[in-house]
């Protein structure tokens, strides 16, 4: 199952980009044998139109049949093993792709959030959207490591 992150904004070279690239490589290596990956990152940028324009671009970046997972502070919190099980469940149900949506500074448009199959939160705090990309990339790798039975995740 392919994994896509569709995110608003362009990531500049630096620490966040380096971390994402590292976790993307780790996920692709670990996930391959599990039927997960590759991890694809699509960046979108709306110069005008606000959240509505961003939502349109994010929706276009997602595959039509893929489950949409909105990253949102109002979403459901999960443990890392629960997240791994969710990914495995979609994979085992024959889903070809899952798409994670990360909004810009104002978040995701309400209509796009409403269309999501799952709204996922990394806690009640609001995180900068560039750090959310890093955290999501790490959690995707952690999920693959859990499913592979590696010692990366310790209970």
CATH of 2-148, one of 3.40.1280.10, 3.90.280.10, 3.30.70.270, 3.30.300.30: 3.40.1280.10
How many Cα atoms within 13 Å fall on the side-chain side of residue 20?
Answer: 20
Domain spans in the chain, listed from the N-terminal domain onward: 2-148
Residue segments in the chain with a per-residue pLDDT below the cut of 50: none
The answer to whether residues 130 and 11 touch, using CB atoms and an 8 Å cutoff, is yes
Q: For residue 32, what pLDDT is reported?
A: 96
> Would the pTM count as exceeding 0.85?
yes
The pLDDT of residue 67: 92
pLDDT at 126: 87
The per-residue DSSP string of 27-91 comes to HHHHHHTTT---EEEEEE--SSSHHHHHHHHHHHHS-TTSPEEEEEEEEE---HHHHHHHHHHHH
Q: What pLDDT sits at residue 155?
A: 67
User: Is 87 in contact with 36 (CB distance < 8 Å)?
Assistant: yes
């Amino acid at each position: 199952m392919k994994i896509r992150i569709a995110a608003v904004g362009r990531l500049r070279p630096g620490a966040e980009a380096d971390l994402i690239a590292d976790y993307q490589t780790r996920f692709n290596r670990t996930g391959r044998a599990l039927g997960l990956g590759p991890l694809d990152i699509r960046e979108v940028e709306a110069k005008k139109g606000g959240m509505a324009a961003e939502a349109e671009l994010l929706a276009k970046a997602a595959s039509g049949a893929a489950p949409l997972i909105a990253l949102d502070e109002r979403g459901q919190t999960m443990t890392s093993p629960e997240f791994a099980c969710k990914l495995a469940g979609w994979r085992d149900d024959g889903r070809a792709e899952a798409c994670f949506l990360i909004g810009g500074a104002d978040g995701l448009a309400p209509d796009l959030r409403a269309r999501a199959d799952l709204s996922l939160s990394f806690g009640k705090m609001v995180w900068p959207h560039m750090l959310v990309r890093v955290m999501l990339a790490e959690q995707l790798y952690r999920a693959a490591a859990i499913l592979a039975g590696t010692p990366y995740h310790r209970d």
